[in-house]
Amino acid sequence: MDHRQTLIKLADAWARHDGVTHWAISMRLTSKGDFFKRLLDGKDCHTATAQRVIERFSDRWPADLPWPADMPRPRRAEDAA
């Protein structure tokens, strides 16, 4: 799974869980409402940006939502401290 697919899969799961749109998840993680729309439209992002967003997903992931089993979860910032 490439980073685009990973980011979209995480955004889909969290958006369904909270009953919100990709725009809302994008605002929570990047402060840009169109981040996931651009990915869904076939555009890409820098590798460093993808890594930073995946780490933010991990740090802010809802406690009552299981992390997708088919992808490794980055260590949470609070666990690393």
The residues spanned by each domain of the chain are 3-62
CB atoms within 10 A of CB 54: 19
- Is residue 80 scored above 60 in pLDDT? no
Give pLDDT, residue 76. 72
Instruction: Record the pTM.
Output: 0.88
CB atoms within 10 A of CB 64: 6
Give pLDDT, residue 79. 62
Q: What is the pLDDT of residues 21-37, one digit of tens each?
A: 999 999 999 999 999 99
Mean pLDDT over residues 46-52, rounded?
94
